[in-house]
Chain A
């Protein structure tokens, strides 16, 4: 077989792969358009209650007008900002806690049941506590975004610390490493991939936490707008708010 033949086979393979990718994207797009189309059609034909379900073209109008008059973007910015701070705090605290537990096997055994209980507790229920403790405002919302992710982060990262192959630890121990070196040279670098993937999950969790927090206290943000829409029975507004909520969430790579 000639080199150019081998190359041709490889090229063919690439072309097939590209075609397949196109097909997937096209089908996804078609499904979306179909969904929007049916929704719009049903609303126009009065087959669904327009007050409750609203419909795409009306939502788009509202969305566009809110962008133009500048009343939407500040809310989006606030929510995104709160989420970023909340999830960074959550991840940082969770990683620190996991490190602490790893360091002391005694502490890990003491805290284990508390972590399990803490994780199964509905974090959203802490909302009122935060509001009373930290005041109704930004800090409470951020605390919400942080609280919702911190315990699960601790558990996931501590578990991955423990799952590092003990032979790697043995390697550095035979080279004379102390506990701190074992942690910084083996445990932490070996779990970086896990920490990164928890980051991605945490963005989603904090996003939910922040919006719920805004439901409860805020005067700004997407969560506030959703609740406001509900209070004035403007379901179109409620639904419109889910567009940036979805877009921002979808912007976070999930893998």
Chain B
């Protein structure tokens, strides 16, 4: 703790008269910086977001990139198989993801799950990026992570996951932000980072991600 409290005489105060302030003065003192109502949920949400971001990005070299690469590979395989199966069966009409097609509906659920995981990862990453805008110094790591997320994002945009209009628009906006971060040079100026942050704020990308991703969807504690 700071030593601002220490005073040559303070550690040997002797018997100081413990005389309280007069009631009127004490009442006035208790009005000093009187706290407003506690914004309990807002603070909790902010704490959770920061902690999620910290957990998600701490093991970046060992776990983040492999997860993103694995997700990208999985999606690539899924998309590839889907396309191949369409080609080998000439009688199959254009993919029908409607309610009467049971098999694709299962795939749609899997894509939805993958999309939510991707959005959760992106949320955690952008939260951390946003908070590090002022300090800088993480451009190389941020750029590498953004590139991995960007690859997954583009695969998702090209998959049935993007048939839902709201999800598609969110993925498109997210792509712009990730692309900007991916292009950050190691000698980026604070202005460059601030511009990206301004863009995020203007489009509300982060808040929309937070709305879209259900609680608990963001991988934590080594789930990456």
Do A and B belong to a common assembly? no
